[in-house]
Amino acid sequence: MRRPAPSGVNAEVRAGMARHGLRQGDVGKALDLSQAAIGARLTGATEWRMVELLVVSRLIGVPFVDLCAAWESEQTPPATEGDVDPASPVAVSA
């Protein structure tokens, strides 16, 4: 089963579409997809392909890396007590 895009990615895409006055049909035309296919992606029913997000990022004026960051931030589980921060120095006993 495929994982849908996180809501943060879809929210970024929707916000960018609104800023540029783009409708689902406009995005679909740029991707050679139907309006229904874009709607399915925006609701999370269908997973975005990376190449689609690359094109969409250019359409909505959001850097591709920002869309990727939105994706990653929702994929990273929250830290729990006892987790080690990999950026922290670790004391090693001899």
User: pLDDT tens digits for 10-66?
Assistant: 999 999 999 999 999 999 999 999 999 999 999 989 989 999 999 999 999 999 998
Contacts of 39 (CB under 8 A, 6+ apart): 24
- Is 61 part of a structural domain of the chain? yes
CATH number at residue 37: 1.10.260.40
The total domain count for the chain is: 1
Residue 4, pLDDT above cutoff 70: no
Contacts of 41 (CB under 8 A, 6+ apart): 5, 10, 47, 48, 52
pLDDT band at 67 (very low <50, low <70, confident <90, very high): confident
- Is 68 part of a structural domain of the chain? yes
- Is 85 part of a structural domain of the chain? no
